[in-house]
Amino acid sequence: MCLWLYNLVVLLGLLFGLAQSTRLYTEEDPVVILSSDSLKQTVLNSSSAWLLQFYSSWCGHCIQYSPTWKALAGDVKDWAQAIQIGVVDCAHEKNFDVCKEFGIHFYPTFRVYTFSNISSYWRCTTVQL
């Protein structure tokens, strides 16, 4: 019985370790990978609209949705002057504070950021699924 339990713990540890190192999005994907270092500067200094997905790399819904988000980003990549598709991994320790600052409580959370040249302000819309 103890050997069975030990093997289970080792297996779960290996699986958890692999899950932690797996990334949903890579630099080869058509999405813009943002982090606490780049999120505000990139989005708020842009003249194009941004569709952002705040996700967690361990979230089942996020994992299932990632191919759709990549496909959307690929479909609009030629429209970069008008719209950009970005992602922020809130499970990454480096991004904890920025996700909290942006009020992210659930995964995935989709937000649309648009800039109004008329009044010079950024507007954010949260999309509920």
Q: Mind listing the pLDDT tens digit for each residue in 31-86?
A: 999 999 999 989 888 889 999 999 999 999 999 999 999 999 999 999 999 999 99
Q: For residues 14 and 40, which has the higher predicted lDDT (pLDDT)? A: 40
Tens digits of per-residue pLDDT, 104-127?
A: 999 999 999 887 544 445 566 666
The answer to whether residue 129 scores a pLDDT higher than 80 is no
The yes-or-no answer on residue 99 being catalytic is no
Side chain identity at residue 31, one-letter code: V
C-alpha dihedral (37, 38, 41, 43), degrees to nearest 10? -140
Q: Does domain 25-127 have CATH number 3.30.2310.20?
A: no
Kindly name the residue from 2, 59, 90, 99 that is annotated as catalytic: 59
Instruction: Decide if 49 contacts 83 (C-beta within 8 A).
Output: yes
**Per-domain residue ranges of the chain:** 25-127
| Catalytic-residue membership of 124 | no
